[in-house]
Structure 1
């Protein structure tokens, strides 16, 4: 076990942290969310997808690696602080653009028309052949149909809409394609996942694969699943997107990081999302 911890211990010592490490199993629990229209039971642990067969037998949502109080916040939409962002997203959905008079509702009617979309993204767009994340689809509508300037990838407007649209797929199984046109992008994302970055020479796999389940001070390292994103992060007192988290993780290795929405981080999101195939989309999760 000591050998498994070497990369994380080395990084912690480099950062001057006082570190105590021990293994802790993910919490055995069931996530049933009380929503406005009834209860939703989410799949938060399941058999690992085939391409992870030699890595994990079972995959776990990050929800299982959080404290009791944090997990409880996600059980009831009334308690989930992330729902405020989805509420604002609904206002934006219905609002008419000052530039064109168009609105999301004008083309798509209710946001429920987006059901299932979050579960299959990122994906290669059939028209352009480009790898698209949800932010790309939102900005395509914002610029081409509503006549506005593109929203920032991590802007408040974008997070509100991400929250609203992701919520429509809550409970749907993550099912991103990794073959066909997606194969080359998936391979690039996989390469990034195992590449060491920065002065600390850390890769995603060092924490979320080799040391998943380890307690590093007060932090319980998860498998790094992104089925819960966008997530309300208590530490930040706000919404955090998967792209934003990738930027932060790479920055924490003391590397010059990629920009949110870059080709590199889109490929990484595809690969990481594929590691969670079979888990439920959690809509807006809550993490510490």
Structure 2
């Protein structure tokens, strides 16, 4: 079983670019898009064909839907997401003072639901949470992730780096074994990408649905047994 703190630490380290920076030179870094086939690239680039856009559209509806005991909607506080949410997703994970640890974008959405809407948090990997997260993240499409400089994130990044480089499982592999040392090669017929999780939540053909970065990390950990 892989504990939530392990996944959280890996997520902070990967998204903030601390881990991959140690193993891959900046000039050699490549987006996962570059490793796709031309057909998959075309599917992703076309909003009318990309199945992930269905979750974005659902998220737009949820953004305008009042809920909770406060009977307020996201739009009631934040207004037009295309304006107010532009660049927001690029700043997560961020340190949350209330809980004393990093929080990702989905966690912030649930925190807002509980605190502002007085509603129950949405379940992890639920369509509603993935849709809202995808919609908010969509407003920052094309923008680079900005690693947070908050010193309080440092121990979590360091722990994430350690976990990323630690060999685990029956196959005795680390994240770095594949994504730093052997990127561009093939594993099980698939090209190994670099560890740049910049588009989550995203639609994977393997899943036939949208999933979070945490789900992807769990998949990899299960793979090394």
Structure 1's unaligned 5+ residue stretches are 1-47, 255-288
Residue pairs, 1:159-198, within 5 angstroms: 159-177=130-148, 180-198=151-169
- CA offset at residue 129 of structure 1? 4.0
Summarize deviations over 1:129-155 as a string: whole Å, max 9, x none. 421111110011111111221111211
Q: Select the structure that is richer in helix.
A: 2
Aligned length: 207
Structure 2's unaligned 5+ residue stretches are 1-16
Q: Select the structure that is richer in strand.
A: 1
Question: Matched residue of 2:77: which SS?
Answer: helix
Who is 1:55 aligned against? 24
Question: Matched residue of 2:45: which SS?
Answer: coil
User: What is the alpha-carbon distance in structure 1 between the residues aligned to residue 123 and residue 19 of structure 2?
Assistant: 35
Q: Does 1:242 align with 2:213?
A: yes
Residue pairs, 1:80-91, within 5 angstroms: 80-91=50-61
Q: 2:174 aligns with which of 199, 203, 210?
A: 203
TM-score normalised by the chain length of structure 2: 0.85
Who is 1:103 aligned against? 73
User: What is the alpha-carbon distance in structure 1 between the residues aligned to residue 40 and residue 149 of structure 2?
Assistant: 32
User: What is the alpha-carbon distance in structure 1 between the residues aligned to residue 215 and residue 18 of structure 2?
Assistant: 25
- CA offset at residue 127 of structure 1? 5.6
Q: 1:77 aligns with which of 41, 44, 47?
A: 47
User: What is the alpha-carbon distance in structure 1 between the residues aligned to residue 68 and residue 151 of structure 2?
Assistant: 40
User: Is contact 2:179-2:193 (8 Å) kept?
Assistant: yes
User: What is the alpha-carbon distance in structure 2 between the residues aligned to residue 203 and residue 51 of structure 1?
Assistant: 13
Change (3 A) 1:98 1:187: closer
Question: Matched residue of 2:210: which SS?
Answer: strand
User: Is contact 1:233-1:239 (8 Å) kept?
Assistant: yes
Q: CA RMSD in A?
A: 2.0
Change (3 A) 1:50 1:149: closer
